[in-house]
Amino acid sequence: MDIHEFQAKELLSGFGVNIPRGGIAYSPEQAVYRCSELSGKSWVVKAQIHSGARGKAGGVRICKSEEEVWDAASWMLGRKLVTHQTGPQGKLVGRLYIEEATDIAQEIYLGFVMDRKLERVVVVASAQGGMEIEEISESEPDSIIRSVVDPAVGMQNFQAREIAFSLGLDPALINQAAKTIMGCYRMMWETDANMVEINPLVVTASNEIVALDAKVSFDENALFRHPHISELRDKSQEDPRETYAGDRGLNYIGLDGKIGCIVNGAGLAMATLDMIKMAGGEPANFLDVGGGASPERVLQSFKSVLNDPNVEAILVNIFAGINRCDWIAEGVILAVKELDLKLPLVVRLSGTNVDEGMKLLADSGLDIETASSLAEAADKVVAAWRATDSAYAEAS
């Protein structure tokens, strides 16, 4: 789960990380009022969306008058901001963060990420901040500093100081930098975050270290331990297909293809996507219905798949262990009838009660094509999709 910059900064501030003063605005009037609260001669207006590279898309502006703040806020609010991370669909700007301008003397990159191969938190830092880590890696590979944290003891002060020294900071700033690094690590550890990124972490003209931007993402499986973080979720920034499915307990990831997939088990789901690709099709989603799926859960799975208007055919692939094929068949029949499904549908069932399940499908009188293997099912659904897609092309 991602959160907004202002939310990430508020969390980091609670762990001793220095942040600029700022406030949220939902209208140009509020934006100007925030300026009067902050005082000063210049401010930064930042669009709050779940994406990096906002500045390149016009989502971060330095303003030197209240009129400029008003104009920037008017332009951003209600606009879909398109960055290289959002894709062409962009993300809607519903709120702004108005922040006091900072006199920057140096920019630093600081990131904490969970390395699943090492099973450790890895700290990544660079004295060349202000740009994406991929750009830093390409243009200044020697500037990247990496430090692995031993989970048995956690991050130690000496590690934080080593990173600070490696960044070439003024010796007078080492303690302050170490405190910032330790604060970021503590926040990541205590909130079950997957990633904490501050880019840039700046040294100001007055010799202070300040987090000028912040990006944090959390492990959704651990959110039950942190209800105050769960409340920070902004569903307007998420793929509506994934939000709908997630709210109903389904594991769904939207893709760009035309063939909807309903599968049980993550491994089988991945294999199903591969087989569709090998057969010449493009999957529209990853969807794992989980174990013990009831007919009602299967119905919700169909609804989730059909929330994608690009879906032109559906493949159901179930290997029943905890699940039962007759339950799945009942759910498929229920979905076809209740949703008045007209799209091509291919069902492959295997495992517990498979004969009962296949009989239910055969006796239903519905236009449901069955298959005995995954390869056959993939071939059939791709062929059906191509036939339907050709018909659409001729009609248009």
> What average pLDDT does this structure show over 200-217?
95
CA angle 351, 260, 299 (to 5 degrees): 65
Paired with 314 in beta bridges are: 260, 345
Which of the following is catalytic: 97, 100, 185, 197?
Answer: 197
Instruction: For the chain, give every residue range classified as CATH 3.30.470.20.
Output: 104-230
Active site residue 197: yes
**Encoded tokens for 189:** 């550890």
Q: What pLDDT is attached to residue 56?
A: 87
Within 13 Å, how many C-alpha atoms sit on residue 258's CB side? 17
Report the alpha-carbon distance of residue 311 to residue 344 in Å, rounded. 10
Task: Supply the CATH classification number for the domain 20-100.
Answer: 3.30.1490.20
Q: What architecture does CATH give domain 240-395?
A: 3-Layer(aba) Sandwich (3.40)
Residue 391 pLDDT class (50, 70, 90 cuts):
low
The answer on pLDDT for 396 being more than 70 is no
Assign a CATH topology to domain 104-230. Answer: D-amino Acid Aminotransferase; Chain A, domain 1 (3.30.470)
Q: What pLDDT is attached to residue 250?
A: 85
Binding site annotation covers 107?
yes
Active site residue 26: no
This prediction's pTM: 0.77
Which of the following is catalytic: 109, 252, 312, 330?
Answer: 109
> What average pLDDT does this structure show over 226-232?
92
Residue 392 pLDDT class (50, 70, 90 cuts):
very low
Instruction: For the chain, give every residue range classified as CATH 3.40.50.261.
Output: 240-395
Instruction: Work out the percent of the chain whose per-residue pLDDT is above 90.
Output: 76
Q: Which residue has the tokens 């140096």?
A: 106
Binding site annotation covers 117?
no
Instruction: For the chain, give every residue range classified as CATH 3.30.1490.20.
Output: 20-100
Q: 70-84, 106-120, 243-257: which range is least confident on average?
A: 243-257
Binding site annotation covers 9?
no
The answer on pLDDT for 384 being more than 90 is yes
Binding site annotation covers 213?
yes
